[in-house]
Structure formats: structure tokens, C-alpha cells
Structure 1
Amino acid sequence: MADRSLESEQSWKALDGEQMSALLRGSLNDYGAPPAASAEASERFRLQLEQSDQDPMDAFVEAVAGLTDAVERLAEIAAKDPLAAAASIDPSAADYAEIESLPKPIRMTVRTWLGRLLVRSRLYDEALPVIAEVDATESIDPASSLFYRGACYHALLMKQEALTDLRTLLENEDDCPIRFSRLAKLMVADIKPLKEDSLDEISRLMTDVTRRLDLGRSDEKVEGQEQKIIDKLTKLIDKLEEQQQQQQQQQQGGGSSGGDPKNGQESPMQDSQIAGGSGDGNVKKKNLGDDDGWGNLPPAERKEALQKISRDLPTHYRDAIEAYFRKRATDG
């Protein structure tokens, strides 16, 4: 007997063809389509799912477009230019109010359908406003709503949002397409250990900038991402230099603490105990000089430290650091 306790934890469930068809018919009736037309559209939709391999969301949008002008226009625009389609349902666009007035199942499914198209084209920035507010439980394909939005969040390094959607998707893995569940697990494992200001994050930001440039983007968003990379590299390298300096200071301090009594230095104690001594406890103040930057590593030591730090890193991390210093030299 199946464990019913797990079913109560599932926040979504997949619909079969009959349920999708009924949802389509009810939504068209709520929209105000003639009952006969709604019945005909839903039956045609059901037969398409049974007799062909047509994607349910494609068939759903096609059926709705035949009876709603707003979805018909959106589908026509999306076929030519997905970016223009995304812009057409922006709150400032003329068609926004008409799309938002559609029954919720239609609205959630149409947004998921368009969001999927944008994500498949790597247009994550444009996909997010389209799909961000989708209620997956109101879509005819909840798995697609969760998967493509999770993939969008993952690509944009929105860690918590990605984990939320992908884990929700995996709550009902039995009803989830295998390709979705496998990729969702990989994405969860990939983004879960991501830490802010790490080399991993910097590398991903660089990949994101490359994607944007591949798409022909060179706007303020790209410049902002590039500056973020430089800032994070600066912060990381400063931290690594500080750690290297502290290690050197500890080594120098440790080298002068013990010694050979024959050379006028005392040996370290063999056992832990309260040490004796005849000193008065006063420490002679060391004159560090008045030169600025006394705490910075000399150029030769700085170069050596960075070589040691990056020696075992993957190639793309070393390239990132080298690119950073080339930019610093150019800016300087």
C-alpha cells in the first residue's frame, strides 16, 4: 500500500488529458466564449493530446488563441519575436490589462508557455517578469511552470528562489517528467553550495556576462555585471592578501620565540606550566616608521602569494584573476 503521508506534502499534482480538457472548457466559459465553441475547442484539444505527440501547452495556447484576441495576438508576436511578446505583456503595454483579465488557468498557462520559450532561448532576464508570479497549481502543466522558473532563477544565480521551485517540483517526482527531475536534481546540487563573493560565484557571473554578450547585449546591465565582477575580485584578492600577510607575521613571530640556549636564546618549555621570569612585563615599542602602505606586501611577494593561491585552481579561475589585474593595469 502506498504511503499516503507523502501525498499530503505534495503542493502540486499533474493533470491528465481529461482534466486538462475540462479545465480548458471551464476557463473558456468563464471568459465568456459561446458554450458550443468552448465545448468544441476543449474536445479538439483532448483529441490532439490522445492522437498526437503535440505538447499540451502548445495545444492549449492554440485552442485559447482561437477564441481570445489577446492570446491570438500574443502567439503571433511570439512566433516572430519572443522579446517583443514579453514586452507586450509588460504592465506598461497596451495588451497587459486584457491578458490579466483572462481566467487564471489561461493566464498562468500562457505565461508559462511564453516563459518557457524565453528560457529555451537563454533570455532569462526577459523570462523572469513573465513567469515570476505564475501560480503553478493553476497552470495545466505545474511541472513546467516550476521547472522553467527554477531554471531561470538558477541561471540568474538567485539561489534561494531556485531551490524553492526545484525542491517543490521534486516533491512530486512520480508525476514529474524524467528529464525535469534529473535536471532539477543537478541544478539543486549545483547551486546549493554557492557562496556569495566566492570564486565560484565570480566565475558564474563571468559566464552570465558571456551569455549576454553572445546575445548582442552591451547595455548598462552588462556593464553593471562587469563592475560587480571587478568589485568581487577586488574584495576576494584583498582578503587573500590579508591572509597571506597574517601567515607571514605568524611565521616571523614563531621564528623568534624559541631557540638554542647556547646562542643566548631559551628553548621552549617541554610541558604546559606557568612560566617564571624576572622581567618587569614592559614591552619595547617597535618603530614601524612613517611610510604609507607599510602593511602591504611588496610586489614580488604579492606576485608569489597570488601564484601560490591560484596554482591549484581551475583554469577559468586563474584566467579571471589575470584578467582582473590586466584591467587594473589598464585603469591605472
Structure 2
Amino acid sequence: MNQRHATAASHAADPRSESHSAVSAFALWLFLIMCVLLTTRVSADEALQNEKAWSALNHDQMASMLRQSLDEYGIVPSVVDQTSSQFAVDLGQQGLDPMDAFVSSIAGLNDAVKTILDLSSADPIAAAASIDPSAPHYAEIESLPKPIRMTVRTWLGRSLVRGRLYDEALPVIAEVDASETIDPASSLFYRAACYHALLMKKEALADLRQLLENEDDCPVRFSRLAKMMVADIKPLKEDSLDEIARLMTDVSRRLELGRSDDKVEGQEQKIIDKLTKLIDKLEEQQQQQQQQQQQSSGGAGGSQGGQETPMDDSRIAGANGNGNVKKKDLDQDPGWGNLPPAERKEALQKISRDLPTHYRDAIEAYFRKRAVQN
């Protein structure tokens, strides 16, 4: 008994025992802090994952956005009540498109928006020009509250995209903040449609991916088309035959719209340059293959068994001519370079015979449009 007491007393008096206890307590305290920090970080990560870049608004939220915007714009309360009530009726009983109803409500209170509304059906290009900073009504439009500006731009951009006026639509809708409109899905979808049509791959994929991040709130028609556009433009490579065919389709679209301006000529020159580059690349590959075949065959340039081999392309054959060639005066022949219709058709068939149907149709449509323009 006395020995056990003595041993306990010695441990109690030993400073190493106290140090070991302190280290254990510190380790436990550190472990608890790490657990708390880890739990907090996981919760924050989950919150970020659950946070959506955009969300669809129901009719009540749309009406609330309209009311708040009108209040900010300084409309008298009685008119705000009347406009908001009519907007709710248009969405509910009338079943109107939310953006159509929203823009119509604002047009009754703002002359610049009314001008855009009237021009959109009569002259959509002029309507798009009214958003330009040099336009007379631009300052008046920019003075509107942000939700109104963003929704009006989205509405006009949608109208232009539906008319395949992508060049005019993009400046209108490019800077739209989707979260500040009554229809964020439309803002993202129609802007992505512009980028897709104009072969702006990076920008198109960014908007399409953001749209599909919240597929649950996205209209089915948008989500299906968005997935198709992603699959269509993602594999697009610069200077490929696919890109050339798309450029030809774009030129055909512009010609159908009656365009024959510098933009069209620039696109045509781009097509020619890319085709030339592609042909040069293919010829280079063919030459490399021929050289490899010659090397693999041992470069048989002599005779075997008394039989002579054909003359190499690199050797100059004997000739008796003096080498003078009569120059052809091409300027005197107005039809030079133009094939008769039958031969032209045959040439086009040979050019596009081995191409996939998508490329062949685009090339043939392109040359048909050019023939009509000439």
C-alpha cells in the first residue's frame, strides 16, 4: 500500500506527466476545431452548389418586378396599380406571353418603348437601330429602371432572332443581365442562338451551359434545342470543311435577306481563303503520302530484268520545242471562266460528290445563290 502511494506521488510530481496531459488536451482541442471548420466548409460548398445562376419567375413575381420598376421610374401609385392589375389579367385570363404583356404595359407609359414596339413589326432593323447609342431615343431608354431595360432588350432580341437577323440582334441582347429580366431563360437562349448562328463558339457554349445549369426551370423547347446546339457547335474546328459549309450557309442566309454589302463580300472572301488553305493542306498531305510510298518501294528508278520503269515525275523528258508559248488574251473574251450550264452542273457534282450530304447541300445552295446574284 505504501509503495502504491509512493508511486502515485512520484507520477504526480513528475513534470513529464503534466506535459503529456497538456499535449493530449491540445490535440483534442485542435481536432474539434478541424471538425467544425470541415463541417462549415462542406455546408458552404453545398450552398454554392445549390445556388442557381438564374431562376424562373412565376406570374406574381413578374407582377411584383413590374410594380417595383414603375415605382422606381416615378409613376404615380394609381397608375402603378392599374398597370400592374392589367398585367396580371393579361397573364392569367388572357394568357399572353409574359414579355409581350410586359413591353406593352411599359409602352403605354414611355414613348421610346412604344416606338420600338411599333417598329418591331414594320421595320425590325430600324427597331434594332433605336437601341444604338447614337439613336435619338437611346438616352430615354437607358434612363429606365434596369429590369425594364433588360426585358425590353430581350424582347426585341427575340423578335430579331426569329427573323434570322442575328447581326442586328446581338448588339441589342449582348449586354443583357439575365437575372434582371422577367424571363431569364429567354435572355440566355436567344443570345446563345445569335452566337451559334454567327459561329462564336466560346460565347455560345457559355450561355448554353448557363441555361442548362437550371434545366428544371428551363422550358422544354429551350433545353432540347440548347442540347442540340451544344452538340452541334462543340466539335466545330477552325478552317475545317464543317466551318466552311457553315459560312456558306450564312452567306446564303444574308443573300435571302437581300444583303449584298461589304459584310457578305467579306464572308465570301473568307470562304475562298479557307478553301484555298484546306486545298493546300490536302495537297501537301498527298505529296507526303506519295513520298512515303516511293521510299517504302525502295525508290526503284532503274530497270529490273531488262524492263524499264516509267519515268519519274522529277525527271525532265526530252523535247524538241523551242519553249515559246503564245499568251492568251483573256480580257478579250467576256465569257472566260464561265462554263456552260451542263458542264457547270457536272463540275459541281464532281466537287461535292464525295462530301457528306450536309456539306454538299450547303455548297450547292451557295453556288445557286451566287448564280442568281450574278
Name the counterpart of 1:192.
234
Tell me, in whole angstroms, the C-alpha distance in 1 between the residues paired with 2:56 and 2:116. 26
Distance 1:34 1:148, change over 3 A: same
* Structure 1 residues 299-321: Cα deviation after superposition (integer angstroms, max 9, x where no partner): xxxxxxxx999764214645778
Name the counterpart of 1:120.
162
Residues 9 and 171 of structure 1 are in contact (CA less than 8 Å); yes or no, is this contact kept in structure 2?
A: no
Name the counterpart of 2:105.
63
* Structure 1 residues 190-230: Cα deviation after superposition (integer angstroms, max 9, x where no partner): 00000000000000000000000000000000000000000
Residues 69 and 148 of structure 2 are in contact (CA less than 8 Å); yes or no, is this contact kept in structure 1?
A: yes
Tell me, in whole angstroms, the C-alpha distance in 2 between the residues paired with 1:6 and 1:228. 44
Name the counterpart of 1:153.
195
Name the counterpart of 1:110.
152
Q: How does 1:34-183 map to 2 (within 5 A)?
A: 34-183=76-225
Misfit runs of 4+, over 3 Å: 4-7, 307-312, 315-325
How far 1:28 moved relative to its partner?
A: 0.8
Distance 1:223 1:193, change over 3 A: same
Name the counterpart of 2:309.
none
How far 1:7 moved relative to its partner?
A: 5.7
How far 1:40 moved relative to its partner?
A: 1.4
Tell which structure's C-alpha radius of gyration is larger: 2
Q: List runs of 5+ in structure 2 lacking aligned partners.
A: 1-45, 306-313, 317-348, 368-374
Q: Which amino acid aligns with 1:163?
A: L
Residues 233 and 324 of structure 1 are in contact (CA less than 8 Å); yes or no, is this contact kept in structure 2?
A: no
Distance 1:15 1:192, change over 3 A: same
Name the counterpart of 2:327.
none
Residues 249 and 362 of structure 2 are in contact (CA less than 8 Å); yes or no, is this contact kept in structure 1?
A: no
Residues 230 and 324 of structure 1 are in contact (CA less than 8 Å); yes or no, is this contact kept in structure 2?
A: no
Name the counterpart of 1:272.
none
Q: How does 1:149-298 map to 2 (within 5 A)?
A: 149-256=191-298
Tell me, in whole angstroms, the C-alpha distance in 2 between the residues paired with 1:39 and 1:160. 44
Q: Which amino acid aligns with 1:59?
A: A
Tell me, in whole angstroms, the C-alpha distance in 1 between the residues paired with 2:298 and 2:350. 25
Tell me, in whole angstroms, the C-alpha distance in 2 between the residues paired with 1:221 and 1:123. 13
Please give the secondary structure, in 2, of the residue aligned with 1:94: coil
How far 1:288 moved relative to its partner?
A: 8.0
How far 1:5 moved relative to its partner?
A: 5.7
Residues 48 and 54 of structure 1 are in contact (CA less than 8 Å); yes or no, is this contact kept in structure 2?
A: yes
Given candidates 25, 35, 39, the residue that maps to 2:67 is: 25
Tell me, in whole angstroms, the C-alpha distance in 1 between the residues paired with 2:284 and 2:350. 14
Note the aligned Cα RMSD (angstroms). Answer: 2.8
TM-score by length of 2: 0.70
Tell me, in whole angstroms, the C-alpha distance in 1 between the residues paired with 2:166 and 2:365. 26
Name the counterpart of 2:41.
none
* Structure 1 residues 56-111: Cα deviation after superposition (integer angstroms, max 9, x where no partner): 00000011111112111221122311111101111111111111111000000000
Tell me, in whole angstroms, the C-alpha distance in 1 between the residues paired with 2:226 and 2:299. 55
Q: List runs of 5+ in structure 1 lacking aligned partners.
A: 264-286, 290-306, 326-332
Please give the secondary structure, in 1, of the residue aligned with 2:247: helix
Please give the secondary structure, in 2, of the residue aligned with 1:119: helix
Farther off after superposition, 20-29 or 313-322: 313-322
How far 1:324 moved relative to its partner?
A: 11
How far 1:238 moved relative to its partner?
A: 0.2
Q: Which amino acid aligns with 2:88?
A: R
Distance 1:88 1:310, change over 3 A: closer
Tell me, in whole angstroms, the C-alpha distance in 1 between the residues paired with 2:156 and 2:193. 14
* Structure 1 residues 118-166: Cα deviation after superposition (integer angstroms, max 9, x where no partner): 0000000000000000000000100000000001110110001000111
TM-score by length of 1: 0.78
1:12 corresponds to 2:60: no
